Amino acid sequence: MPRDSHSSQPPFAEQLLGQAGTLYNFARYLCRDAALAEDLTQDTFARALDAESKFVPGSNLKAWLFRILRNAYLDGRRRDRRNPVSLGEDDAEPATSELWLRGDIEIDRLRGLVARDIEAALSRLSEDARAVILLDWEGCTETEIASVMDTAVGTVKSRLARARAVLREQLQEYAK
């Protein structure tokens, strides 16, 4: 359904593109693979454009997109489990770590080590715990996370507390 041309909101597709980086980062941490994350992000945009009429203007677009992305990810995981030819997670190529930080070579090297440690700690979390942590880092409220995860707010709170405790334990050397 086309939007009113007199609306102060940018076109829907433009609003979606404004979330591209955030969605890609979320997808990358879910998939642990850059190419799969790109595909998942594109699939999310396609699904969102198809479902534009279901989006309630004024509601949280980012939370709505995160939910679409997570559902697309889970759909893919279910499809892969049923596919007798697909590789298991253990057989897949490990994701290469990207260094997003710039500056002094020594600082970059240290930041890269910290980033790899954080990424490794995140990868050891369950999918749900990792998703809850990433959504929390993106600034989503517990209510929004519950909506994205299709679960109760209390469940989100307990998953978030457990995931934070695991990360604190795994990354305790950085707390010194």
Mean pLDDT of the chain: 80
Residue in 26, 24, 33 with CA at minimum distance from that of residue 93: 33
Q: What is the mean pLDDT of residues 70-98?
A: 64
Per-residue model confidence (pLDDT) at position 105: 56
Q: Which run of H or E residues covers position 29?
A: helix 20-31
pLDDT tens sequence across 7-24: 577 888 888 888 889 899
Confidence tier at 121 by pLDDT (50, 70, 90): confident
∠ CA 133-94-172, rounded to 5°: 40
pLDDT tens sequence across 26-81: 888 888 888 999 999 999 999 999 999 998 888 888 889 988 998 898 888 888 77
Give the separation between CA 123 and CA 140, rounded to whole angstroms: 20
Q: Which residues, including other chains, have CB under 8 Å from residue 22's CB and lie 6 or more apart?
A: 62, 138
Give the separation between CA 128 and CA 148, rounded to whole angstroms: 11
Query: Which domains does the chain carry?
Result: 10-96 (1.10.1740.10), 98-176 (1.10.10.10)
What does the DSSP 8-state code read for residue 52? Answer: G
